[in-house]
Amino acid sequence: MSMGFEQDAAAVGRAADESVAALQAELNEAQAAYAALSGENAALQAERAVLLARIAELEAIINPPPPPPPPPSTLFGVTVTGPVRKEYTDLHPKVAVSRVFGAGTSDWSQEPQHKAFPNGKWAVSNSYALSESALPRYLATIPDADKAKIVGYADGHELEHPDKGLWASDVRARVKRTAPIIRAAGLKPTWCMMGYSLRNDDWLNWVDPDDVDLLAFDKYNSGNKKTPPIYQDPVKMVDEAVAASRRFGKPFAFWETGTNQFGDDAARVDWTKALRAELIRQGAVCAIWFDRKSTSGSSWDASLDRASAEAWLA
């Protein structure tokens, strides 16, 4: 009886061992299959990544993304007698263009203002004291390297201003004669007018579009004249200039702009930033802040405070 029991127990043990061995073999086979499937999955994932990259390439060809916006091309600067020139000297590298009012000299090297920011470009207005006959000789004294930095050359400054006592027909005739001289010197003849003149169409009598390559405006915050003073909408300011330039089919610029100081200093900074942004959006060639007090004895003072200067030249 005892012997039979032992034999049965041995048989059960052998059977159990065989079952364990079979299960181990199945486990080994399953693990090998899993490893094979994992390898296949990795290969498929790699192939999928290649296909997705190719799909992205094809989509970019079929539907290319819009190009990034170009950097602002508008040149921002100041006149040469205010705080930026005298006090905020660390801002000088940011002055991309400055306003040069010709002094009626016979030689460019004798002009004092173009030396203020020598690394920037210049918007030049000839003093009407420079005679028409002297103009070719004067322009010949400007070195080619300096001519390349002049964004525009105006034969006169706000010639339609009533205080100048000029006749539209006489000015129009002179500009028609001087425009070819300016172009022959490699410069852009520019008509520089008061923003106030846009109140009606009389300004069109003063100049022929054929004699202008750039239409420039001396255009300020006219809201200053209100009581109490306000900041005029920069969009409206620029829109008026753009509409006029489109009538000529020529680019536009602000050769003088600004606002005097009143009220909250932060409001002036905000207005300055908004005007700057709008000039960039509308594609102004350049914009120059009239960084000085009025020379006519009025209370006008457009000289830049530090915060507004930083906003304008940002």
Q: At residue 300, does pLDDT exceed 90?
A: no
Tokens describing residue 99: 């306003």
Residue type, 275: L
Q: At residue 297, does pLDDT exceed 80?
A: no
CA distance 33 to 49: 24
Longest CA–CA separation in the chain, Å: 144
Q: At residue 4, does pLDDT exceed 70?
A: no
CATH architecture of 75-312: Alpha-Beta Barrel (3.20)
Secondary structure of 229-270 in HEC code, one letter for each residue: CCCCCHHHHHHHHHHHHHHHCCCEEEEEECCCCCCCHHHHHH
The whole-number pLDDT of residue 279 equals 97
Tokens describing residue 207: 């100049």
Predicted TM-score (pTM) of this structure: 0.76
The whole-number pLDDT of residue 176 equals 97
Q: What is the mean predicted confidence (pLDDT) over 81-109?
A: 93
Q: Give the pLDDT band (50/70/90) at residue 205.
A: very high
Q: What is the mean predicted confidence (pLDDT) over 269-294?
A: 95
Of 82 and 127, the structure prediction assigns the larger pLDDT to 82
Q: At residue 289, does pLDDT exceed 70?
A: yes
The whole-number pLDDT of residue 129 equals 74
> 287 to each of 123, 218, 262, 309, how far by Cα in Å?
10, 10, 22, 13
Tens-digit pLDDT profile for residues 218-258 = 999 988 888 888 999 999 999 999 999 999 999 999 999 99
Residue 125, phi then psi, degrees to nearest 5: -115, 120
Tens-digit pLDDT profile for residues 164-195 = 899 999 999 999 999 999 999 999 999 999 99
CA distance 191 to 206: 9
The length of the chain, given as a count of residues: 314
Q: At residue 282, does pLDDT exceed 90?
A: yes
Q: What is the mean predicted confidence (pLDDT) over 9-28?
A: 78
Least confident range of 166-180, 262-276, 293-307: 293-307
The whole-number pLDDT of residue 59 equals 84
Tokens describing residue 232: 């005029």
Tokens describing residue 312: 């304008």
Q: Give the pLDDT band (50/70/90) at residue 285.
A: very high
Q: What percent of the chain has pLDDT over 90?
A: 61
Tens-digit pLDDT profile for residues 47-94 = 898 988 898 888 888 887 776 665 569 999 999 999 999 999 999 999
